[in-house]
Structure 1
Amino acid sequence: MFISPMLLETAHSPFSHSNYIFEPKIDGHRLIFSQQGGKIRLYTRHETDCTRQYPELLDQFDDDIILDGEVACTDPETGSIDFEMVMNRFQAKKSDKIQRLITTQPVTFVVFDILQYKGKDLRKIPLIQRKEILSGIQMPNKHFGVIPFVEAAGEALFSQMEAQELEGMVGKKQNSIYESRRSASWQKVINWTYAEVFITGYRKNEFGWLTSVITETGKLRATGIIELGVPPKAKQALYGVSKSIVIGEDKNFVYLEPKIRAKVKTRNWTRNGMLRSPAFVEFNLSS
């Protein structure tokens, strides 16, 4: 049984509040775990069935249950949570590859909420009571874990997330009910990484600015596309200036000399040196 998940709004900065609990934000993908009549189904937030991708999560609980959480992978070399690894797991379709990845890239289901248990719908009771119920349930194997949380001290927790270079934190009202929509009762604070890039082109048919950096050898290297956070005035400014620095085009893009610099924020850098979900912050006008 699928339940559409409760989604987060974005807080502008870390905060503390006595009416909130605060959790580390896990850099994986959302997962709804459903065990009904002894049958387990796993779903993404968009109701995509991903049961076969995660065999290590198919051990049963003592009764029917629906859980909400994040499925993640930990890099065995660094011990850090690795988003690209869990995407590799999610995209694996062939049974033999999935079986190999269970050993080399095992997942953990980090549970942060319980929505149903033993036939009872728990979504209307306060979050802090759902947490108490969840804490008393035996997890079926080592691939399940319950997310820790602290009360009130959000800023202190966020400082820890920064120090450990983790994705950020989530603040949730202690008395919040579970709503299948985006709600201000749950707020995320992202631990952004900042970078300076050159704007080296733009899409023709839809919005997107090409970004690049200069490598240590002096060469230009592409780093992705900015699609987020660009206000209308910034778009107008770039397109006005860019006319004099066009160096070519193809079917999809117009290419520019690396003259315009911008500050961006990003979740992190991928292993192949690309910005992950970069968002525009401002132009860098210094020489």
Structure 2
Amino acid sequence: MFVSPMLLHKSDEPFDNEECITELKLDGIRLLLSKFNNQIKLYTRHNNEVTSKFPELQQIDIPDGTVLDGELIVSDDEGKPDFESMMERFQSKRSRHAIQYCVFDVIYHKGEKVAHLPLRERKELLESLVDNDEHIAKIQWMYGNGQAYFDLVKQIGLEGIVLKRADSKYQIKKRSHDWLKVINYQYADAVITGLRKGEFGLLLAFEEDGKLKPGGIMEFMTPAAKKEFYGQYHDLIVDEDKKFTFIEPKIKCRVKFRNYTKSGLLRIPSFVEYIS
């Protein structure tokens, strides 16, 4: 049984509020797990059934008539969520990466919708539903302490935190300010070296040891910043192929991104400002 999940808004900064529940934001794949008629089924947030991809989760001991919401992760050698390894496991049956389903909410219990209950009560319900083992675990949480928890996340190098109103209902198929994510962005200075043809995207590079190193493709940019770029890139064109128009590396900008990929590219870079 698929339930369209509740989505989060962004907050630029963490905050302390004892009326909020603070959780770690895990870097994985959002997954809905349901058990009806004694059959476990798994769905992505976009209603793609992926049950067959994760046979380890077929034997999870939860009551019939349950729908859980959580994040599926693969951990690296340091115990941190590894998104690239998670995607490898998701995309290939040959992958042997060990997975863990980290649960943070319950939407149905004993066949009845419990989305109307306050989050604090749904958390209590989860305690009775899920026993931690190698393939499933409940996400740890606390009241308040958002600032201190975010500072710790930054020190360790994790993705971020989530702040949720403790009295919030589970708003199916909605994006709500009752749930806020605070991302631990990294920042870098880069130069724009090309423009993707078709769907918007700018090729980035950054300097390393006196040389320009590929930095990936930036797709997120404000309309005003795009307009400024379009107003000056024509005079800088040096080459093109079927996919890209290449320009001289003279337009510099500051970008924020999630982390470096294993190949050294910026993951999900987005524009911050132009720099001289």
Specify the TM-score bucket, using the shorter chain as the normaliser: over 0.9
5 Å matches for 1:1-287? 1-64=1-64, 65-76=66-77, 78-92=78-92, 94=93, 97=94, 101=96, 105-139=97-131, 141-180=133-172, 181-216=174-209, 218-228=210-220, 230-285=221-276
Kindly indicate whether the alpha-carbon contact (under 8 Å) linking 1:193 and 1:267 is maintained by their aligned counterparts in 2: yes
Q: Residues 264 and 239 from structure 1, CA distance in 2 versus in 1: closer, same or farther, beyond 3 angstroms?
A: same
What are structure 2's unaligned runs of at least 5 residues?
none
Kindly indicate whether the alpha-carbon contact (under 8 Å) linking 1:200 and 1:256 is maintained by their aligned counterparts in 2: yes
Shift of 1:257: 1.1
Distance in structure 2 (CA, Å) of the matches to 1:60 and 1:192: 34
Higher mean alpha-carbon deviation, 197-206 vs 38-47, is at 197-206
Distance in structure 2 (CA, Å) of the matches to 1:175 and 1:113: 13
What are structure 1's unaligned runs of at least 5 residues?
none
Distance in structure 1 (CA, Å) of the matches to 2:22 and 2:130: 23
Kindly indicate whether the alpha-carbon contact (under 8 Å) linking 2:3 and 2:32 is maintained by their aligned counterparts in 1: yes
Distance in structure 2 (CA, Å) of the matches to 1:10 and 1:275: 20
Q: Residues 246 and 113 from structure 1, CA distance in 2 versus in 1: closer, same or farther, beyond 3 angstroms?
A: same
Q: Secondary structure at the match of 1:206?
A: coil
Kindly indicate whether the alpha-carbon contact (under 8 Å) linking 1:213 and 1:220 is maintained by their aligned counterparts in 2: yes
Distance in structure 2 (CA, Å) of the matches to 1:117 and 1:61: 14
User: Deviation per CA, 1:18-70, whole angstroms, max 9, x where unpaired?
Assistant: 21111000000101011111101011101111112112211142421110000
Q: Secondary structure at the match of 1:136?
A: helix
Kindly indicate whether the alpha-carbon contact (under 8 Å) linking 1:60 and 1:140 is maintained by their aligned counterparts in 2: no
Q: Secondary structure at the match of 1:159?
A: helix
Distance in structure 2 (CA, Å) of the matches to 1:280 and 1:60: 42
Distance in structure 2 (CA, Å) of the matches to 1:18 and 1:141: 30
* Aligned alpha-carbon RMSD (Å): 1.5
Shift of 1:260: 1.4
Kindly indicate whether the alpha-carbon contact (under 8 Å) linking 1:35 and 1:60 is maintained by their aligned counterparts in 2: no
Distance in structure 2 (CA, Å) of the matches to 1:60 and 1:109: 10
Shift of 1:238: 1.9
Distance in structure 2 (CA, Å) of the matches to 1:28 and 1:164: 17
Distance in structure 2 (CA, Å) of the matches to 1:80 and 1:282: 31
Kindly indicate whether the alpha-carbon contact (under 8 Å) linking 2:21 and 2:166 is maintained by their aligned counterparts in 1: yes
Q: Secondary structure at the match of 1:158?
A: helix
Shift of 1:140: 7.0
Kindly indicate whether the alpha-carbon contact (under 8 Å) linking 2:130 and 2:137 is maintained by their aligned counterparts in 1: no
Distance in structure 2 (CA, Å) of the matches to 1:166 and 1:226: 22
Distance in structure 1 (CA, Å) of the matches to 2:99 and 2:148: 28
Q: Residues 263 and 62 from structure 1, CA distance in 2 versus in 1: closer, same or farther, beyond 3 angstroms?
A: closer
Q: Secondary structure at the match of 1:66?
A: strand
Distance in structure 2 (CA, Å) of the matches to 1:111 and 1:264: 32
User: Percent identity between the aligned chains?
Assistant: 42
- Give the count of matched residue pairs: 274
One-letter amino acid of the structure 2 residue matched with residue 203 of structure 1: R
